[in-house]
Chain A
Amino acid sequence: MAENHPVGFQWVIEAREKNKATVIHVDPRFTRTSAMADIWVPLRCGSDIVFLGGLIHYVLENEKYFREYVVHYTNAPTLLREDFRDTEDLDGFFSGWDAEKKLYDPTTWLYEGSPEKGALFGGPLPKVEKDQQQAGHEKRGIVGPGQTAETAKQDFTLRHPRCVFQVLKKHFARYTPEMVEQCCGVPKELFQKVAEAYCSASGPDKTAAICYALGWTQHSKGVQIIRAASILQMLLGNMGRPGGGIMALRGHASIQGSTDVATLYDILPGYLPTPIFNRDARSLKDYITYNKAKTGVWSDFDKYIISFLKAYYGDSATAENDFCFDYLPRVTGDHSHFGFWLDMADGKVEGLFLMGQNPGVGGPNARLERKALAKLKWLVVRDMVEVEPASFWYKSPEVERGELSPETVATEVFLFPASGVSEKAGTFTNTQRLLQFHEKGGDPPGDSTSDTWFMVHLGRRLKAKAAADPRPRNAPLNALKWDYSVAGKDAEPKVEEVLQEINGWTTADHRLISGSSELQADGSTACGTWIYSGCYPEPGRNRPNERQSRDLYGHGWGFAWPSDRRILYNRASARPDGKPWSERKKLVWWDEQQRQWTGLDVPDFYRDKPPDYKPPEGAVGAAGIGGDQPFILHPDGVAWLFVSAGLKDGPLPTHYEPLESPLPNPLYKGSNSDPAAMKRERPDNPYARSPGDPSFPYVLSTYRLTEHHTAGGMSRTLSHLAELQPELFCEVSPELASEIGLKHGAFATITSPRGIVEARVMVTNRLKPLSVEGRSIHQIGIPFHFGTNGLVTGDSANDLLPISEEPNVRIMEAKALVCDITPGRRPRGKAALEFLARKMEAA
């Protein structure tokens, strides 16, 4: 965190200095963060679930959990079906595994008494044929119809053998300190120290927070690592309370914003799923039926999607034409970054817009990604500098190695100058869901324009063309509402108009609405992103641009979605009876006099619902959530220790080795790596043998440095940053260096089945060989910022990574793979390819 979020890290330092917080850092390398921590825990790359599972085991075995919180606010008491089988029963598989299709049928993961397929809220749907490549956001898990308090059965003593609590206990029974030592390489005593420190910082009067970044997400089981962390936090009562939570430290300034307002192919703004062909895409009714929940916040799904369609299509969207639902694109396959890029490599993609992204350096198997660009007819790159994808055709390792040449690449490349952040107005959304508006600081140089300018004017031109051509294919473009006004000599769009559209208005009189509670399902409201609604509640009131912080939680500074709630699920900061757990950790509480929720934060709950409210039988929507059920996004109002629907690789996290690992899975013989993860193995995306390929004996992990920005386009080009880290280096332990003759400051060649890079050697005590299962495991660290352009250049470490896909969110495994390292510089030109080919032959 100190490495990549130095500004945010000031709060960690403040917690350490002012509140005497203990800072624990778990990382294979000793980084700048470790240097500021009280306890550093080096562990083997990819063994995170064993470490977290060990903590869960410790909490359960030693009865350190926050019992009242767990009983009332989680699904610990809920009973599971009799036919559910755990990975512990089936050697690494949960029940429902289809070995042929390589995917799970999650029916047996449902709560006991939950209706199965075909009994959805609102009526039945056709049976869905799925395959592993069928991607798409599974909202149904979150809004799943079965998990209402109404149908579920509970045992509040937590003793029933089929209640979630007992299943959890059994599932993590083997995650002992011995297993942690054996698998992660973390000594028992150190593990004990961490477990004691973490548990002693949790309880009614205390909370502990977990911060994570791509070191957890970029794994073939990344979602399950974060699930393990959330189980730990739920057991210790650290959710919905001040000082608790799990903070996702995002990789860029507004990644949170780009997921909220959807740059991903499978979600529309506000986490509405993109309709999936053959699943829920036949009609708006089908789509709503599939995705609408019976109770909780998602029971208003129809209001969200219809208001969204009204924002997209304006007056063209009517009840008669399904509000233009048919014009929304459908998911027909894996259109994730990787699916898309592999299609491109196979010549199935004609053109591409790359805006502020540099997959030629930052993408996994960057070599494949650069070569795929040569299969395009046209490529538009918009950036502040000439980034590597814009120059791949004349300056790239592939050109050096004779794989591509300017004479033969047919791709027409258009490089547009883009303005930087300070040269345009707009908002950022940070990890706290806080929207902050920034004004334009100055004009961009030359012909540079903002991305908003480009999109608005591109849209205008496309619409003009479509209007002149009445073919049916142009109907969606003709229906699209695109009336953004522009001003100034450059005809710059007013971004505040976009923010107002995101906030929403009434369609009859264009009155800005105050929040998502005003949304309607009859077309009388339009709203671009329902979760952001309320950010622009009246003319002239741009809440993200407000800068008058009134209190400790920063109300008055920016706007945190939803409804300026600074801590999500904050109803959990009070006891079931509505009183705070403790004076020190009070946040929101029930005011008996006023008969409403009040406190230091905006209550993330139904304001006038008393704590003792019990939903009547058959209650739907908000009425279906009890007064003591804080997790209102879930239909059953509680946090999920066990996720009965919505995940593709299991209801509980369990340890699998990385797709490439030096070691066999110590827990299961049947499945070494996550069976649901996708390797996308093919000749241009090969893998080492796993476990234990003798040709690639070392573990490799990629990372970033404080001094550079991701793929380097914004730092390798600036002299004041470039001079701080001017060259690619790799970090190795003194033990590995002496074992194979690596010299500090000299060059080393690092090879994986995908690529070959050279880097300066940094021999440092900050890397330690780990003793794992009686063997010494060497781990190598390498930053991925370098490429062929800029003031400082170097090989791209991401050439070494495979394209792989975590099954739920389709992220690659960048933090745990295998490699070989040898002293000396890498071969040049064609010889590099021959070297790689020989290496693979030997393997």
Chain B
Amino acid sequence: MSTATNLQGHSGQTTAFLTDSTLCIGCKACEVACKEWNGVSADGFDWSGFSYDNTGAVGHSTWRHVKFVEGNPQPGFGGNAGEAISWEFSSDVCKHCEVAGCLEACPTGAITRMEFGAVYVQPDVCNGCSYCVVACPFGVVQKNVEDGRAFKCTFCSDRQRVGLEPACAKACPTQSIKFGEINQFRNEAQDRLQELKARGIEDATVYDPQDTSVGGIHSIFLVRGDPRTYNLPPKPEVPTIYLKDGWRSAGIAAGMMVVAGLAAFLSTPAKNGKRLEGAGR
């Protein structure tokens, strides 16, 4: 663990997204601004039938994605009325984990830690092995099969470097996506949570897993209801934490195989003889 942290350690100002779904109006400006700025192409013109969502999920050609969760609205209750959830929108994005599974898994060094805390896939180094795809606990990284390489949110590192906020946060008209300093956001998220609860929105939660192996994320969310509804796992883990167990299991398995092999080698003639004899009967 400590090795991993050092390996991924970074310096400079630590920035983050704070995505407050209770302010999201589902306009998808973040999706479009992201694609425009980063030159990401559209990913097909298919009507999904999943409410107003036709881009599906975060993937190689959708780095910001607004999820639409339809409830059962009743007359007299608006969506943010506190009494009932009716139509929830939430903009998903790469979490830029402190301990990033994708970075750990990348064998070529294509995925690096940038300043500001960004986890960045260098497209000119990526060889398309897809190890990162399976290593991401959030299902964010995806390989573009036509192109052969993996893509995801860059945290608009190019914009951040010249003092601009990421395109999605810039485009958001209602400040549902905020961009700023991570520790400040952690406090702000808690304050906002208290405010919402005081207003009667009891099911609001802050999603900011810090006590798991991802060691904290740079995309904090405020959602209503079960975070799993919005593709946010309750206990995201970096796959490498299973390495020790994995090696131990592999070691045990290897040891057992050696033992079994030896045993087999030592006992083979007799047993074989017996069995053959038995078979002969």
Cβ distance A767 to chain B, nearest Cβ, rounded Å: 10
Q: Give chain B residues whose Cβ lies under 8 Å from the Cβ of A40.
A: 73, 75-79, 86
Contact with A along B19-30 (1 / 0, CB 8 A): 000010111110
B31 contacts chain A at the CB level, 8 A cutoff:
yes
Give the complex CA separation of A6 and B26 in angstroms: 9
Q: Give chain B residues whose Cβ lies under 8 Å from the Cβ of A9.
A: 25, 173-174
Give the complex CA separation of A7 and B172 in angstroms: 9
Contact with A along B61-89 (1 / 0, CB 8 A): 00000000011110111111100001111
Q: Which of A16, A23, A35, A729 has the most CB of B within 10 A?
A: A35
Q: Give chain A residues whose Cβ lies under 8 Å from the Cβ of B87.
A: 30, 32, 34-35, 766
A399 contacts chain B at the CB level, 8 A cutoff:
no
Name the residue on A nearest B35 (C-beta).
Answer: A720
B49 contacts chain A at the CB level, 8 A cutoff:
yes
Give the complex CA separation of A2 and B66 in angstroms: 15
Q: Give chain A residues whose Cβ lies under 8 Å from the Cβ of B29.
A: 6
Interface of B is mostly: loop
Q: Which of B41, B71, B86, B88 has the most CB of A within 10 A?
A: B86
Give the complex CA separation of A17 and B44 in angstroms: 37
Give the complex CA separation of A726 and B75 in angstroms: 30
B242 contacts chain A at the CB level, 8 A cutoff:
no
Q: Are A17 and B45 in contact (CB under 8 A)?
A: no
B52 contacts chain A at the CB level, 8 A cutoff:
yes
Give the complex CA separation of A725 and B55 in angstroms: 9
A55 contacts chain B at the CB level, 8 A cutoff:
no
Q: Are A720 and B79 in contact (CB under 8 A)?
A: no
B43 contacts chain A at the CB level, 8 A cutoff:
yes
Give the complex CA separation of A40 and B41 in angstroms: 37
Q: Are A34 and B45 in contact (CB under 8 A)?
A: no
Q: Give chain A residues whose Cβ lies under 8 Å from the Cβ of B79.
A: 34-37, 40
Q: Are A41 and B75 in contact (CB under 8 A)?
A: yes
Partner of B36, one of A34, A720, A762: A720
Q: Give chain B residues whose Cβ lies under 8 Å from the Cβ of A745.
A: 49
Q: Are A6 and B25 in contact (CB under 8 A)?
A: yes
Q: Give chain B residues whose Cβ lies under 8 Å from the Cβ of A679.
A: none
Partner of B54, one of A37, A39, A723, A768: A723
Tally B residues with Cβ within 8 Å of A.
40
Partner of A30, one of B27, B41, B73: B73
Give the complex CA separation of A768 and B175 in angstroms: 31
Q: Are A765 and B70 in contact (CB under 8 A)?
A: yes
Known: A34-B73, A41-B76. A2 touches B25 (CB 8 A): yes
Q: Are A35 and B80 in contact (CB under 8 A)?
A: yes
Cβ distance B81 to chain A, nearest Cβ, rounded Å: 5
Q: Are B173 and A10 in contact (CB under 8 A)?
A: yes
Q: Give chain A residues whose Cβ lies under 8 Å from the Cβ of B27.
A: 2, 6, 32, 706
B46 contacts chain A at the CB level, 8 A cutoff:
yes
Q: Are B73 and A10 in contact (CB under 8 A)?
A: no
Q: Give chain B residues whose Cβ lies under 8 Å from the Cβ of A189.
A: 76
Contact with A along B91-127 (1 / 0, CB 8 A): 0000000000000000000000000000000000000
Q: Give chain B residues whose Cβ lies under 8 Å from the Cβ of A744.
A: 49
Known: A35-B88, A721-B32, A792-B45. A766 touches B78 (CB 8 A): no
Cβ distance B166 to chain A, nearest Cβ, rounded Å: 17
Give the complex CA separation of A236 and B243 in angstroms: 70
Name the residue on B nearest A765 (C-beta).
Answer: B72
Name the residue on A nearest B77 (C-beta).
Answer: A40
Q: Give chain B residues whose Cβ lies under 8 Å from the Cβ of A765.
A: 70-73
Known: A35-B87, A190-B75. A10 touches B80 (CB 8 A): no
Cβ distance A22 to chain B, nearest Cβ, rounded Å: 10
Give the complex CA separation of A745 and B55 in angstroms: 16
B247 contacts chain A at the CB level, 8 A cutoff:
no
B254 contacts chain A at the CB level, 8 A cutoff:
no
Give the complex CA separation of A33 and B80 in angstroms: 10
A21-48, CB < 8 A from B: 23, 25, 30, 32-42
Q: Are A37 and B75 in contact (CB under 8 A)?
A: no
Give the complex CA separation of A13 and B79 in angstroms: 13
Q: Give chain A residues whose Cβ lies under 8 Å from the Cβ of B36.
A: 720
Name the residue on A nearest B72 (C-beta).
Answer: A765
Q: Are A760 and B47 in contact (CB under 8 A)?
A: yes
Cβ distance B189 to chain A, nearest Cβ, rounded Å: 15
Give the complex CA separation of A736 and B87 in angstroms: 21
B42 contacts chain A at the CB level, 8 A cutoff:
yes
Give the complex CA separation of A439 and B42 in angstroms: 29
Known: A9-B25, A760-B47. A36 touches B73 (CB 8 A): no
A831 contacts chain B at the CB level, 8 A cutoff:
no
Give the complex CA separation of A790 and B245 in angstroms: 55
A707 contacts chain B at the CB level, 8 A cutoff:
yes
Give the complex CA separation of A727 and B81 in angstroms: 31
Name the residue on A nearest B76 (C-beta).
Answer: A190
Known: A9-B174, A32-B25. A726 touches B78 (CB 8 A): no
A38-B80, A723-B45 known, 17 other contacts, Cβ within 8 Å: A6-B173, A35-B79, A36-B78, A36-B79, A37-B78, A38-B78, A38-B81, A40-B77, A40-B78, A187-B75, A189-B76, A706-B27, A723-B42, A726-B47, A729-B47, A760-B49, A762-B49
Q: Which 7 A-B pairs have the closest CB atoms?
A: A35-B79, A37-B78, A719-B42, A727-B47, A726-B45, A6-B27, A35-B87
10 A/B residue pairs, CB under 8 Å, sorted by A: A6-B29, A10-B174, A30-B73, A34-B73, A37-B78, A40-B73, A705-B52, A723-B42, A724-B55, A727-B47
Which residue numbers of B lie inside 8 Å of A, CB to CB?
A: 23, 25-29, 31-32, 35-36, 41-47, 49, 51-52, 54-55, 70-73, 75-81, 86-89, 173-175
